[in-house]
A and B are shown apart, each in its own frame.
Chain A
Amino acid sequence: MADSKPQAYISWFCPFAQRAWLALLEKGIDFEYKEVNPYDESERVKYLKINPLGLVPAIVHQGHVVYESAICIEYIDEQWPETPVLPNDPYRRAYERIWSDHISKKIVPQYYAMLLKQSHEDRETARKALLEQLVVLTDAMDKEGPYFRGSAFGMVDMMLAPFVARFPVLKHYRGFQVPTEDRYARFNRWWAAVKERKSMEKSTPEDERLVDVYKGYAAGNPTMS
């Protein structure tokens, strides 16, 4: 049981930080939100004193710092056991971690490739791979859903949702959209449920702000304006 209020270091635009933010909101944890702009030099220097790696998200609690979004989620789940984000059973937990890993290795890189790659051919390759890997993921989902493992919103959902919430950025700069055909029906059903969650409404910036903040990336320059 935790006896002090955690601080969550977050950048409002960062999808990795949003993952940890979702976990805190879903679990109803009382936390202190601390905005960080890692691209502002003076803020970055100050922040390095708190987290030597200078990354978001970071959870500071009882004098310790936890970082890496998936590790933050697991820490949050273990430190505050009510409303669990991961299931109890060891195999179900492994399954959740396997598919979180799939998102990080096979889906997230394609999102960034679509933005950063400068050739149309490279972007097309990324687009096809992104759609393919989304289907691989949704094939692993509980058939009923609507969430990854069924009726409970959990870790895999939190690992993916922030990136799908940023698909409007890909639409604006690359004309990307997930099709509505049968192949993507499970994905679209998942997203329809996920985007309605209060935690998502609270932590997802408006499309216009996201499009604006990612314009550097779309020009091949991975920095925030």
Chain B
Amino acid sequence: MSDSKPKFYTSWFCPFAQRVWIALLEKGIDFEYIEVDPYKKTPEWLSVSPRGLVPVLVHQGKSVYESGICIEYIDEEWPENPILPKAPYQRAYERIWADHIAKKIVPPFYAMLLKKETELQENAKKEMLEQLLVLTKAMDPTGPYFAGSQVGLVDIMLAPFAIRFFILKHYRGFQVPSGDESPFSRFNKWYIAIKERDSTGKTSASDEEYIGIYKRYTDDTGQSLVATAIRQGTALP
């Protein structure tokens, strides 16, 4: 049992930090929200966050970081409203699919935005859909959440990225196929349920704010000659 209020260091736009924010809200934990600019690597910040990244949870004077590790810490320190199930295999199953999100879904999300070549963007789109389908097939058939009627680790790990899919549509024309007959119908059912949760709404910025902040990933008009040269492996102009 904990006897002091944790400090949650976060940046409003960061999907990794949003995961932990959602977990804190879902568990009804009383915490202090501290907005940080993680791009300013001051000594004070590095003493709180050794890797200089968000999210960080500081509790009883000690820092916990990495979004998945923060969520497991929260779940163990405050056992009410559990995020992970009790049975060891069910817990392993949640961790396996959280790991799938980290390795197979998050990378194409960023590749789609950061890559300049259309071919690489298209590859990222294909990869994203493929891996979303694999994840969808691992979901509890009824749902609506990953493991069934309760929100859990996998839902929280995926939610911030799923709610940013409209950014991928805006900049790259990416869309998850819709329709009841679509193989993604189970995913779409999950998405609707997740989007409706208070914790998702409270931790999300506006569409305009997200579109604006993600522009820097996609916009290199000021450096296009350099970017082209780098891509082609030729001398810089």
Contacts and interface: CB of A to CB of B under 8 A. Distances in A.
B96 A90 contact: no
Nearest to A90: B76
Interface stretch (B58-66, B163-171, B219-227): B58-66
B96 A67 contact: yes
A221 interface: no
A74 B59 contact: no
Interface string A63-75: 0101110011011
A97 interface: yes
A75 B64 contact: no
Nearest to A62: B89
A61 B91 CA distance: 14
Contact of B95 (A68, A91, A98): A68
A122 interface: no
B89 A90 contact: no
Contacts of A71: 92, 95-96, 99
Contacts, number: 54
Contacts of A91: 59-60, 62, 64, 73, 77
Given A93-B76, A97-B69, A101-B69, A78 B91 contact: yes
A95 to B, nearest CB: 8
Chain A, interface size category, equals 10 to 19
B65 A98 contact: yes
A119 B59 CA distance: 45
Chain A facing B: main interface SS:
helix
Contact of A98 (B66, B92, B96, B99): B66
B69 A64 contact: no
Contacts of A68: 95-96, 99
A225 interface: no
Interface string B89-106: 101110110010000000
Interface string B48-90: 0000000000011010111001101100110000000000110
A122 to B, nearest CB: 17
Contact of A94 (B72, B88, B89, B93): B72
A67 B103 CA distance: 14
A79 B88 contact: yes
Chain B, interface size category, equals 20 to 34
A61 B87 CA distance: 13
B96 to A, nearest CB: 6
A64 B89 CA distance: 8
Interface in B11-34: none
A94 B95 contact: no
Contact of A66 (B73, B76, B89): B89
Contacts of A90: 73, 76-77
A79 B89 CA distance: 8
Residue among B89, B92, B96, B99 with most chain A CB within 10 A: B92
Given A68-B99, A101-B69, A94 B64 contact: yes
A75 B92 contact: yes
B60 to A, nearest CB: 7
Nearest to B90: A64
Contacts of A62: 89
Nearest to B75: A90
Interface in A83-139: 90-91, 93-94, 97-98, 101
A156 to B, nearest CB: 13
29 contacts: A61-B89, A62-B89, A64-B93, A67-B96, A71-B95, A72-B92, A74-B92, A74-B95, A75-B88, A75-B89, A75-B91, A75-B92, A78-B88, A79-B89, A90-B76, A91-B59, A91-B60, A91-B64, A91-B77, A93-B72, A93-B73, A94-B73, A97-B66, A97-B72, A98-B64, A98-B65, A98-B66, A98-B69, A101-B66
